[in-house]
Amino acid sequence: MTRTRKLTIYLMRHGHCEGGEMLRGKTDVPLSIVGEEQMWDAWRIISDDIDGARLSILSSPLRRCCDFADALVDDMPEFFERSLQVSPWLSELDFGDWDGVPFAELEACHSDELIAFWQDPLDITPPHGEPVREFHQRVVTGWKELQQQLLKADKDYAMLVTHGGVIRSLMSDVICPGELPAAGLFNAFDLPYGSVVKISLFASEVDGEWQCSGRLHWNF
């Protein structure tokens, strides 16, 4: 007999950060005041949509994500199933030697290399950085494990506080499961600070194994 379930997962991008405009991957900086306001605005969108449901909440370990997520759970525990789960797979891409470098400096000193990376991120990696192919595999592996955890625990709602690169990677897996993301995915989608993306996952269990297909929601 086939069982079916529906999961609803919200992806929240962190807000504006301290430190100015830079290529920010593993670099760990706090939110600015504006960034905190952006994330509270994003939370209001989610809280209005869940209609009383309780969420499992996961966050990247980087401060621009987990500081807000931790404060949110402390302030509003009634919305959440359990305490915050900090998950390294939700960390942003590591840009290696370019990480934390102001964009103005990168454009002045590494203009050609930077352009080449944005045009072909799957095959060009910043010096000592994390290859995008490995990054995507890390994210998708964590994503699949989360799906199974939620299904086995009979939890239907989750919220992930994370980064632009992670969200784009997850969007790619929903649109084209099992495939590498298109190069344009990392620079062709507008995903501002404090953005929220909603994913519905439709799960079917056959002989004890769950299979999921997803749908993206832009306006909700």
Domain ranges, ordered by start, for the chain: 3-217
pLDDT digits (tens, 9 = 90+) for 102-113: 999 999 999 999
pLDDT value at residue 1: 66
pLDDT digits (tens, 9 = 90+) for 73-97: 999 999 999 899 999 999 999 999 9
Q: List, for the chain, all residue ranges whose pLDDT scores fall below the cut of 50.
A: none
State what percent of residues in the chain have pLDDT above 70: 100
pLDDT value at residue 182: 83
What are the residues whose beta carbons fall under 8 Å from the beta carbon of 65, sequence distance 6 or more?
Answer: 14, 59, 90, 161, 162, 163
Pick the CATH number of 3-217 from 3.40.1000.10, 3.40.225.10, 3.40.50.1240, 3.40.50.1100: 3.40.50.1240
Q: Give the Cα separation of 177 and 109 in Å (integer).
A: 37
Residue 82 gets which letter from DSSP? S
Which of these, 161, 187, 171, 162, lies nearest to 136 by C-alpha position?
Answer: 171
Tokens coding 15: 């807000």
pLDDT value at residue 183: 75
Question: Do residues 11 and 24 lie in contact, with contact meaning Cβ atoms separated by under 8 Å?
Answer: no
Which of these, 181, 174, 172, 219, lies nearest to 201 by C-alpha position?
Answer: 174
